[in-house]
Structure 1
Amino acid sequence: MLLDNLNKTRDNINLQLKQRINNSEEYDKEKIFINKIIITNFTYRNIKMNNKFFIDCKYKNVRFIDCDLSKSKFMECIFENVSFENCNFYNGSENIVVFDNNIFSNCTFIKCNLKKAIFMNTSIFDNKYILSDMRNIIISMSYIESIYFKDCDCSSFKTINTVIKKIEFEDNHITKFNEDTFIDKMEINKLDEMSCENLFRVYKSLENKFEGNRLFNISREYYYLAKCAERKLLKGVNKIKSYVFWLLCGYGERPMYALITSLEILLFFTLIYMFSGLYVDGQVIKYSSNFILNLPIDNLFKDFFYSLYFSIVTFTAVGYGDITPTGTSIVFSAVEMILGVTMVGIWTATLARKITR
């Protein structure tokens, strides 16, 4: 799922989320309600805890081993130093497991089936997911301080409106992503330097993981986001160079940027030629700020299009010779020619790479 149509992607995920929640709520009346229990230093082994509604419960230093937690809902619960080992959270029905307004701190999921689980308004601190099925999970309106994956299946895994401070992949094989895996873009305009650095590392990790799954087009989208976050960290000349690289071609990922910049250069030099001088059909086009106000509009438009035509043939290094520069226009035309050759090369290379991927 690409980032180039972000609003549409978010709308689709929100629609999926709403449908799942509505389907799940139809089963809430069938659930057994469990309120305000506190469990510490205990091990649940091979226990069926499915079809329960846990409200305001707290688990600390607890192990769930080979337990069935499918069709359950957890609301305003706290999990601290909790381990889920070979547990099942999904039984194939529409009655999926929902975590709403929970806190997970230093929790581990090992060989768990979390398929289609929903995490809403949830805070996650130092969680580890190892060899787990995380297909079609949706994490919405949540905060992730640190999350760790090892050899999980994250096909169609999605986050939306969620802040991620740190994400790590330490695979023996590879955590699976597919074209529907989506980690939502996080805004960087109001972030401090430390937050920008964390965001840069998150995007770089995602870039590498998508590339490892041979999803090169999506990988480069996260590369672009990483470069945008990195730009906030740069100082002085390096920051200026990064801005120029972004403006010219969007760090090699936005061919349209190169095209727009090229059009801006063409128009800029068109205006310069009108004031610096061109020789056309035995006449010289050369304006001054006072003289331009007294000319008929027809002459102004005609001379503008002559100048635009000359700018285009100079920018593309065609140079028919029917219009020649005079005075300082000679220098400006040389500069435009160099810029033109450069921009055409940048645009062609950027576009070709996008098409090839």
Structure 2
Amino acid sequence: MAESEHEHLCRYSDEQGFTCDLESNDSGWCYWHDSSIIKDSPSDKEKLQEYARNGGMLRGISLKHADLAGIDLVNHHHKHGFDLSHADFYRADLTNAHMFNTNLEYASLMKADLTEANLHNANMKHCNLLGIKWQSTKIKNIDIGDELTQEIQARKAQDNYDLVLALDLFEQSEEIYRDLRKHAERAGMFKLSGRFIQKELTMRRYQMKKPSLARLMSKVVDLFCGYGEEPLKVVNFSIGLILFCAVLYFFSGINFEGQQYYFDASLPFTTNLNHFFSCVYYSVVTFTTLGYGDITPIGISRLIAATEAFTGSFTIALFVVVFVKKMTR
């Protein structure tokens, strides 16, 4: 008898061990997990809300093309929202839907209409976000994770040498980040949009030929300033370059008032330390192109100084541009 009853239950199960205890229809799935049933009747929205309130299994439910405009899927008076992970909302109408704090991990919102929907605090890690309509969607504190599903799949495709598939997936990732960036900008969430534009341009770089000058330049810009979104990267690079050049001056030598300063193992530690600090001072002066003239380079230090001065002038200008861009948003 128990086996017979079990055979009539929905066959939904996932890798975390979750199963559905609703009675199945002829397809072997329950009403909510049956992907062949389009939930677009006037009563489906109310039924789904009641099903959720009564603790029904929401993981993996199929809501493709569903008409859920204005639905309330907020788990009121509870710390955690409803678990809609692995759910399929392909092309679903979720306009003005209330989905605050919902768990949409591994779900698919591909081409769903989220116009004016409330997704504050939603967990959207590994969620398929391709082609979503984001107009006026509330996305404060959403968590999309460090990588999109398409990014992860693209890297796997690269590992399998399927470069055509990888290119397509990186292009999808770029589109998703672009849409998110534009929406965040419209909503005045500039810190979030800054993160999205970095990811957007990174995905674009991955689509460039390797090796190529365009890809190299894109990587350099990322390393220098995070595509204009991280002024501290410029500061850290400047400090690193100053110290690096100071070490080079310390071993190649500089001239101060007719006396050469460089590392000499025969000299006392304090003397060498004083020479090194003089090299640091000279490196700062050269980097900032102040050029006091009290210290001059000798030998190969001249080439190092010329390179540092050129790089320093460029880096300072870059910092000003990036800093002003961030502060004027």
TM range (shorter): 0.7 to 0.9
Question: Is the Cα contact below 8 Å between 1:248 and 1:257 reproduced in 2?
Answer: yes
For residues 289-339 of structure 1, what are the alpha-carbon distances to aligned partners after superposition, in whole Å with 9 as ceiling and x for unaligned? xxx555432232222111111001111122222211223323322221221
**Cα pair distance change 1:99/1:308, threshold 3 Å:** farther
Residue number among 64, 67, 78 corresponding to 2:41 in the alignment: 64
C-alpha distance in 2, partners of 1:56/1:179?
29
Q: Matched residue of 2:92: which SS? A: strand
Q: Which residue number in structure 2 is paired with residue 114 of structure 1? A: 72
Q: Matched residue of 1:241: which SS? A: helix
Return 5+ residue gaps in structure 2 as ranges: 1-20, 75-80, 158-165
Q: Which residue number in structure 2 is paired with residue 101 of structure 1? A: 59
Would you tell me which structure has more helix in proportion to its own residues?
2
Q: Matched residue of 1:128: which SS? A: coil
**Cα pair distance change 1:185/1:118, threshold 3 Å:** farther
Would you tell me which structure has more strand in proportion to its own residues?
1
Q: Which residue number in structure 2 is paired with residue 180 of structure 1? A: 141
Give the C-alpha shift of residue 136 in structure 1: 0.9
Give the C-alpha shift of residue 131 in structure 1: 2.5
- Aligned-residue Cα RMSD (Å) equals 3.0
Residue number among 193, 210, 213 corresponding to 1:219 in the alignment: 193
Residue number among 101, 108, 112 corresponding to 1:144 in the alignment: 108
- The answer to which of 250-259 and 293-302 deviates more is 293-302
Q: How does 1:249-268 map to 2 (within 5 A)?
A: 249-268=225-244
Residue number among 220, 224, 240 corresponding to 1:244 in the alignment: 220
Letter in 2 for 1:259: V
Q: Does 1:208 align with 2:147?
A: no
**Cα pair distance change 1:154/1:99, threshold 3 Å:** farther
Residue number among 224, 228, 231 corresponding to 2:205 in the alignment: 231
Question: Is the Cα contact below 8 Å between 1:36 and 1:56 reproduced in 2?
Answer: no
Q: Which residue number in structure 2 is paired with residue 337 of structure 1? A: 309
Question: Is the Cα contact below 8 Å between 2:110 and 2:128 reproduced in 1?
Answer: yes
**Cα pair distance change 1:56/1:111, threshold 3 Å:** closer
Letter in 1 for 2:41: F
Residue number among 23, 29, 34 corresponding to 1:35 in the alignment: 23
Identity of matched residues, %: 19
**Cα pair distance change 1:344/1:96, threshold 3 Å:** farther
C-alpha distance in 1, partners of 2:277/2:125?
49
Letter in 1 for 2:141: D
**Cα pair distance change 1:293/1:269, threshold 3 Å:** same
For residues 196-242 of structure 1, what are the alpha-carbon distances to aligned partners after superposition, in whole Å with 9 as ceiling and x for unaligned? 22222111111111122232232121111112222222221111111
Q: Matched residue of 2:207: which SS? A: coil
Give the C-alpha shift of residue 146 in structure 1: 2.0
Question: Is the Cα contact below 8 Å between 1:315 and 1:340 reproduced in 2?
Answer: yes
Give the C-alpha shift of residue 258 in structure 1: 0.7
C-alpha distance in 2, partners of 1:112/1:119?
19
C-alpha distance in 2, partners of 1:266/1:301?
16
Q: Matched residue of 1:132: which SS? A: coil
Give the C-alpha shift of residue 127 in structure 1: 2.9
Q: Matched residue of 2:123: which SS? A: strand
Question: Is the Cα contact below 8 Å between 1:129 and 1:152 reproduced in 2?
Answer: no
Give the C-alpha shift of residue 284 in structure 1: 1.1
Residue number among 117, 134, 139 corresponding to 1:153 in the alignment: 117
Question: Is the Cα contact below 8 Å between 1:135 and 1:157 reproduced in 2?
Answer: no
For residues 42-80 of structure 1, what are the alpha-carbon distances to aligned partners after superposition, in whole Å with 9 as ceiling and x for unaligned? xxxxxxxxxxxx79853634433045232424xxxxxxx
Letter in 2 for 1:323: I
Q: Which residue number in structure 1 is paired with residue 13 of structure 2? A: none
Give the C-alpha shift of residue 149 in structure 1: 1.9
C-alpha distance in 2, partners of 1:208/1:349?
22
